[in-house]
Structure 1
Amino acid sequence: MRTIKLGTSSLEVPVVAVGCMRINSLDKSGAEAFVKTAIEEGANFFDHADIYGAGECEEIFADAIGMNASVRESIILQSKCGIRKGMFDFSKEHILDSVDGILKRLKTDYLDVLLLHRPDALVEPEEVAEAFDQLEQSGKVRHFGVSNQKPMQIELLKKYVKQPLVANQLQLSITNAKMISHGFNVNMENEAAIDRDGSILDYCRLHDITVQPWSPFQYGFFEGVFLGNDKFPELNKVIDTVAAKYEVTPTTIAIAWLLRHPAKMQPVIGTMNLERLKDCCAAAEITLTREEWYEIFRAAGNVLP
């Protein structure tokens, strides 16, 4: 599979990341087949979080892949921390405790990447910096990043954190593309002109932070998938036409649309279906034309000024 550098690091990662949030929906043989298929497709970057299945997903993954020293060196592991019941917590103590739990469940000595999961209003960036330093010096975490953060939240962390923040995981799909669409409507008096994210896409590009789109098939906030959905007839018509041209599935085109953006994104796919997993990975081999990208964008209801 095609690879990119993750942020400013030297870490080469596949352009499609495999999300493991739903791996606890599979039985043992299903989980083993899922992990095996991902690796065969060249998608050896696995995304976790300590809250997925209350930690169960990390345990299931480690068992499914048969974690050992040899296996560990052939894969890239990313996990996230900071979400607790009823709150967010970026305290030094919580970050350190969370990483220890993650490593134990994944049966590994280190994470390739650790992301802070959701912004903590009570964050004390000095504590985050101390936690990151300790994790880096101990060898428990090699690279760091954030998730769902705006530019100024990242800048606040960077004032104290010395490690590069290599990734920002953000909700983005064809139908959830406000971070793209408001850029077309600068200084205009319409809903589309409202910048709700502080121009985070441009910020990440300027600072070489890899955007990791999550829920690339969802519309709204986990309201459902747009592919094959009667709520999006024009969008599905266009996607189907483009898919037929490239002799691939609509799933492949939905991911290829994200990969076509010059920000060099790394979509995080969440499917547990083996055929859809393969379809997602196939997007790495397709480059949509400018005309096709914009046609899909407009078909989702985005109006160009």
Structure 2
Amino acid sequence: MRTITLGSSSLEVPAVAVGCMRINSLDKTEAERFVRTAMEEGANFFDHADIYGGGACEEIFADAVQMNPTVREQMILQSKCGIRQGMFDFSKEHILASVDGILSRLKTDYLDVLLLHRPDALVEPEEVAEAFDQLERSGKVRHFGVSNQNPMQIQLLQKSVKQPIVANQLQLSITNATMISSGINVNMENASAVNRDGSVLDFCRLHDITIQPWSPFQYGFFEGVFLGSDKFPELNQKIDELAEKYSVTNTTIAIAWLLRHPANMQPIIGTMNTERLKDCIKATHITLTRQEWYEVYRAAGNILP
């Protein structure tokens, strides 16, 4: 498994992360087999959130790996907090309580990475800073990041937060690539020129923040998977051509497209199917050519000015 450095930290992580949002769909035996396969393949970075399964996903994961200090040191654990029923909450009190709950469910003393989930409109950066400082001093969290935040929101946090933001988890796929298309269509009058995220891709590259694409196979907001969809015939034809050329599956090509970008992204893979997970991991050993990358981009309906 190819590795990358997470943001400006010294933490070396696999180039793809294993998302655990759906691990509660597996029984105990299936969960054990899935996590064991991931570890054997070198995919030892596991992404959680306190809201996944109402916390059950973290408990199921800990049981599946039979968490103990020896097992813990073999993996990298990331979780997220800040989403509550009907609201978002980045208050110091909620962040600290959330982390304690996460650690309890995961049966561990620390998180490698904590992300703030979705932006809280009522965020007070000073409170976040106090929470992060306390978590760092106590050893409960080693690195910090955000999810679904634009550059100004990150800069607002960093007005008070002294820890570097090492990751930003954002929705990105071949068919949901506005952060890429807006940079290509600068100063044009077409819809692709609309900058919806404050140039977050370039901002993260400039500030050594690793982008973690979530839903890398989805189109729209969880509307469906583009692979094999009759909504994207040209895209699937191109992906299938490349899959045949590289002797891999279409799943592998979809992830390889993200990994080809020089931002050194770390896609979050949400599948609970071990074979599909292996297909995603194979993407770390493939480098699409520049021409192939653009062919896939255009086949998805993205335009070049």
The TM-score, its normalising length taken from structure 1, stands at: 1.00
In the other structure, the counterpart of 2:94 is 94
Counterpart for residue 116 of structure 1: 116
Counterpart Cα distance in 2 of 1:237 and 1:21:
30
Please, what is the CA RMSD of the aligned residues?
0.4
Shift of 1:190: 1.4
1:7 counterpart SS class: coil
Query: For residue 43 of structure 1, what is the amino acid of its counterpart?
Result: A
Deviations 1:198-246 (A, max 9, x none): 0000000000000000000000000010000111000000000000000
SS at 1:13's partner residue? strand
Identical-pair percentage:
82
Give the secondary structure class of the aligned counterpart of 1:175.
coil
- Please give the residue correspondences for 1:182-221 in structure 2 after superposition, counting only pairs within 5 Å: 182-221=182-221
The answer for the alignment partner of 2:22 in structure 1 is 22
CA distance in 1, matches of 2:166, 2:250: 30
Distance (Å, rounded) in 2 between the aligned partners of 1:33 and 1:216: 23
Kindly provide the CA deviation profile for residues 51-79 of structure 1, in whole angstroms up to 9, marking residues without a partner as x. 00000000000000110000000000000
Name the CA distance, whole Å, in 1 between partners of 2:81 and 2:163: 17
Deviation per residue, 1:114-159 (Å, 9 max, x gap): 0000000000000000000000000000000000000000000001
Q: Does 1:36 align with 2:10?
A: no
Partner of 2:147 in structure 1?
147
Corresponding residue for residue 57 of structure 2: 57
Deviations 1:152-195 (A, max 9, x none): 00000001000000000000000000000011111111111100
- Deviation >2 Å, runs of 4+: none
- Corresponding letter in the other structure for 1:89: D
Helix, strand or coil for the counterpart of 1:241?
Answer: helix
Which residue in the other structure is 2:222 paired with? 222
Measured after TM superposition, the shift of residue 256 of structure 1 is: 0.3
**Amino acid corresponding to residue 270 of structure 1 in structure 2:** G
Deviations along 1:85-128, one digit per CA (max 9) or x if unpaired, are 00000000000000000000000000000000000000000000
Structure 2 residue matching 1:102: 3-state secondary structure: helix
For the residue of structure 2 that corresponds to 1:205, the secondary structure is: helix
Match for 2:234: what amino acid? E
- SS of the residue 2:304 aligns to: coil
Q: Unaligned 5+ residue runs, structure 2?
A: none
C-alpha distance in 1 between matches for 2:184 and 2:46: 34
Q: Distance in 2 between matches of 1:185 and 1:266?
A: 25
User: What is the aligned partner in structure 2 of residue 269 from structure 1?
Assistant: 269
Amino acid at match of 1:36: R
Q: Distance in 2 between matches of 1:209 and 1:19?
A: 19
**Residues of 1 paired with 2:91 and 2:76: CA distance?**
26
Query: Which ranges of structure 1 fall in alignment gaps of 5 or more residues?
Result: none
Q: What secondary structure, in the 3-state scheme, does the structure 1 residue paired with 2:79 have?
A: strand
What residue number does 1:236 align with?
236
Q: Does 1:160 pair with 2:160?
A: yes
Matched position secondary structure for 2:115? strand
Distance 2:106 2:272 in 1: 19
TM-score (norm 2): 1.00
